[in-house]
Amino acid sequence: MKVLLIEDEEDLREIVKTSLIKEEYTVETACDYGTALEKVSLYDYDCILLDIMLPGGSGLQILDLLKREGKSENVIIISAKDSLDDKLRGLELGADDYLTKPFHIAELNARIKAVLRRKQRDGKNTLEMGNVILDLSERCLYIATQLVPLNRKEFDILNYFLLNKNRLVSKSALAEHVWGDNTDQADNLDFIYSQIKNLRKKFLGNHADVDFEAVYGVGYKLVEK
């Protein structure tokens, strides 16, 4: 899952980022209003952690933009401001939760998981297609009840495709979602082909009912055979 952390306090930003990476999220950060506005305008995220007080503007302005663009789901406000008005305004603009600083990292992680379960997967902890079942809690794959080992990137890629099954996923969108800001440092996207090839081998070797359909020069679809 891909998380955007919008927080101007450097120490807290690094603590939260490190914690989320340990939970195996792909994490991007923004430390001011302008950077945050650019990221939410250009990219999609599974969850946004949004501070209200930001250099250059208000987090509530960003939330208002997300609402107008239909992208306000999965936003958790994290702020030192503990007034009822701020909470109500944030929730009215589409935020899913409100966490007041200081908070325990374990509580933040729990809130993120609750929001993702509730919004994206209707409370289910698995994604399924054909005889393929991806267990999101245990981060493991079953094909026809057989446990199939995945590395972290393979899990993240398959997770993304199962959320977009039968849809064309461009290589650039996949790379940006799974690898985040690190994609900008890559000379090309050949590494995606290698990861898809490895997943295909695991599908074939375990008689999966699904496969990746390549669309030349664009990307892939995950389809049932």
- C-alpha to C-alpha distance for 109 and 107, rounded to whole angstroms: 5
Mean pLDDT of 102-126: 75
Domain boundaries, the chain: 2-120, 126-224
Instruction: Work out the angle at residue 26's Cα, subtended by the Cα atoms of residues 192 and 160, and round it to the nearest 5 degrees.
Output: 55
200 confidence band (pLDDT: 50, 70, 90): very high
> What pLDDT, on a 0 to 100 scale, did the predictor assign at position 50?
93
Task: Tell me which architecture the domain covering 126-224 has in CATH.
Answer: Orthogonal Bundle (1.10)
- C-alpha to C-alpha distance for 173 and 185, rounded to whole angstroms: 15
Are 2-120 and 126-224 in the same CATH fold?
A: no
Q: Are 54 and 33 in contact (CB under 8 A)?
A: yes
Identify the CATH number of the domain defined by range 2-120: 3.40.50.2300
**Reported pTM:** 0.60
> What pLDDT, on a 0 to 100 scale, did the predictor assign at position 88?
78
- C-alpha to C-alpha distance for 171 and 218, rounded to whole angstroms: 6
Percent above pLDDT 90 for the chain: 41
